[in-house]
């Protein structure tokens, strides 16, 4: 890696990857399921599962900790696009993501609309929890084939996804098990989930029991009355 000796000019995110940009290229970090990146004194004792130190010239280090070893540290040369980033769809809170975009990408697709919404080649960052919540807010059944959703309903879905994500960010994310903030505080959006993890409980709109199924190997919950 050509990172040593370089000045980190910007830090940015693309999908689930963190990029530390230098003139020579970018360090590409993925934290996996439960990894973390902490700023510590460079001489701080190394714990189990501390894998990489990016040592800064002020005596601190960015320390990459990953107990499950699902994360990674890669290199992207200046002016290049790493293969892991090349096929990604737009960010959900960007201007490139809207109902018209979803409608065009969905034509002819027979996969469930929930799987379509979670496809990183379609849009990044809409995971299982937020896809379920957005589909509920938009009133769309998760098993409906993506190609059978109208343009108007995709407009509602795009707006719902953006609203859900923006509110989740405001509430600090969704802590179910591993996720915490750098200061150790949890995210509080889990307390406001409408359908995710609530199979068999009353729908918050109509009171009917929520149904559940596995779509693409992921647990999915929805209201059979409010979502169609």
104 and 213 together in one domain: yes
pTM (whole model) above 0.85: no
List, for residues 23-55, the tens digit of each pLDDT value.
Answer: 999 999 998 877 888 999 999 999 999 999 999
**Domain coverage including residue 17:** 10-86
Each residue's pLDDT tens digit, 47-100? 999 999 999 999 999 999 998 878 899 999 999 999 999 999 999 999 999 999
Query: Are 139 and 36 part of one and the same domain?
Result: no
Is 158 part of a structural domain of the chain?
yes
Does residue 107 share a domain with residue 214? yes
**Main-chain dihedrals φ then ψ at residue 223, nearest 5 degrees:** -100, 120
Whether residue 72 is found in the same domain as residue 168: no
User: Does any domain span residue 141?
Assistant: yes
- E strands along the chain, which residues? 10-14, 17-21, 25-30, 36-41, 50-55, 60-65, 72-77, 211-215, 218-222
Residue 30 maps to which CATH number? 3.20.190.10
With pLDDT > 70 as the criterion, what percentage of the chain qualifies?
A: 91
Domain identity same for 47 and 146: no
Whole-angstrom CA distances from 51 to 35, 47, 228 are 10, 9, 47
Statement: residue 210 has pLDDT above 60: yes
34 shares its domain with 82 = yes
Residue 33 confidence (pLDDT): 78
- Looking at the structure, do residues 121 and 189 belong to the same domain, yes or no? yes
Whether the predicted pLDDT of 133 surpasses 60: yes
Q: Do 180 and 121 belong together in one domain? A: yes
Residues 134 and 215 in one domain: yes
- Same domain as 191, residue 80: no
Q: How many CA atoms lie within 13 A of 221 on its CB side?
A: 18
Please tell me whether residues 128 and 191 are part of one structural domain: yes
Q: How many domains does the chain have?
A: 2
């Amino acid at each position: 890696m050509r990172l040593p000796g370089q000045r980190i000019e910007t830090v940015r995110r693309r999908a689930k990857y963190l990029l530390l940009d230098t003139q020579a290229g970018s360090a590409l970090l993925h934290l996996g399921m439960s990894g973390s990146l902490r700023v510590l004194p460079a001489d701080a004792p190394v714990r189990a599962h501390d894998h990489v130190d990016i040592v800064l010239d002020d005596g601190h280090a960015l320390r990459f900790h990953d107990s499950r070893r699902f994360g990674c540290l890669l290199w992207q040369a200046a002016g290049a696009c790493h293969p892991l980033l090349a096929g990604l769809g737009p960010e959900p809170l960007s201007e490139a993501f809207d109902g018209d975009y979803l409608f065009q990408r969905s034509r002819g697709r027979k996969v469930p609309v929930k799987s379509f919404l979670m496809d990183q080649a379609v849009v990044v960052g809409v995971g299982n929890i937020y896809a379920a919540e957005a589909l509920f807010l938009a009133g769309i059944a998760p098993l409906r084939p993506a190609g059978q959703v109208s343009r108007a309903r995709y407009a509602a879905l795009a707006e719902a996804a953006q609203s859900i994500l923006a509110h989740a960010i405001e509430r600090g994310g969704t802590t179910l098990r591993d996720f915490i903030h750098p200061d150790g505080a949890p995210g509080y959006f889990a307390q406001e989930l409408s359908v995710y993890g609530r199979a068999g409980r009353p729908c918050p709109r109509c009171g009917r029991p929520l149904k559940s199924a596995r779509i693409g190997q992921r647990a999915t919950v929805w209201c059979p009355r409010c979502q169609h």
